[in-house]
Amino acid sequence: MIQATGIEKSFGDLKVLKGIDFTAEDREVISIVGASGAGKSTLLQILGSLYVPDAGKVYIDGQDIFSLSEKELADFRNRKIGFVFQFHHLLPEFTAKENVMIPAMIAGRRDPDQAAALLEELGLGERLDHKPSQLSGGEQQRVAVARALVNSPSVIFADEPSGNLDSKTREELHNLFFKIRDTHGVTFVIVTHDRDLARLSDRCLEMRDGRFV
């Protein structure tokens, strides 16, 4: 599903990634761990096409993503990739259902029934019309997960998705990722400091100083 080779990235004089090779199979759940500053989030954002590498190639589902034009890449990202971040980035003036619909609307579809069904599947069937301020932290993160799923992506990239949650809510979110993998056939690449989540994953990779160790 994902193949990256020779990924390098610098910010000024700081070389953050030093020739990373990475693969992820279809429906695999991979955790990437390591100390702060190891390059984990930078790698995730390159794999997700949010940063352009200084060197190297990234293929997702056979597509060389950085060979695409800016518009083609935006369309590819919207259709094929979902994102879940530590901070949910929900729009405060929109309801849960409206937040979930946004990526589909960008793709030219307006399907409130699909958004409602995803929220129902994730245990938020009674919260469709609640705004983010009316939801708990765990509920807000579930809305963000539903939003990531709405365009039926091949891959979801998650950056510290449970970093702001209590232990019980973290466990519920982690279990949810594996349920989604099984029911939606999604590949997950997760940057995390949570060793419990890392142990549950199909593979756990550790980064140190811009390389896998």
Q: Is the pLDDT of residue 3 over 90?
A: yes
pLDDT of residue 17: 95
How does pLDDT run across 173-182, given as a tens digit for each residue?
888 889 999 9
45 in any annotated domain:
no
| pLDDT for position 174 | 84
Structure confidence at residue 137 (pLDDT): 85
Is 17 inside a domain boundary? no
Type of residue found at 58: V
Burial of 61: CB neighbours in 10 Å, binned 0-12, 13-18, 19+:
middle
List the CATH number of the domain containing 77. 3.40.50.300
Query: What gap in Å lies between CA 69 and CA 73, rounded to an integer?
Result: 6
- Is residue 60 domain-resident? no
pLDDT at 112: 83
The pLDDT tens digits of the residues spanning 16-58 come to 999 999 999 999 999 999 988 899 999 999 999 999 999 999 9
Domain count, the chain: 1
Residue 145 lies in a domain: yes
Structure tokens at 66: 């950085």
Whether residue 134 is predicted with pLDDT greater than 80 in this model: the reply is yes
Average pLDDT of span 65-71:
92
Does 3 map to a domain?
Answer: no
Tens of pLDDT along 150-169? 988 999 999 888 777 777 88
Tokens of 40: 């984990």
Asked whether residue 169 is domain-assigned, the answer is yes
Q: Is 59 part of any domain?
A: no
The predicted-structure confidence for 4-26, as pLDDT tens digits, reads as follows 999 999 999 999 999 999 999 99
Domain residue limits at 125: 28-34+69-205
pLDDT digits (tens, 9 = 90+) for 99-109: 999 888 877 77
Q: Does 208 have pLDDT greater than 90?
A: yes
The reply to whether 47 falls in a domain is: no
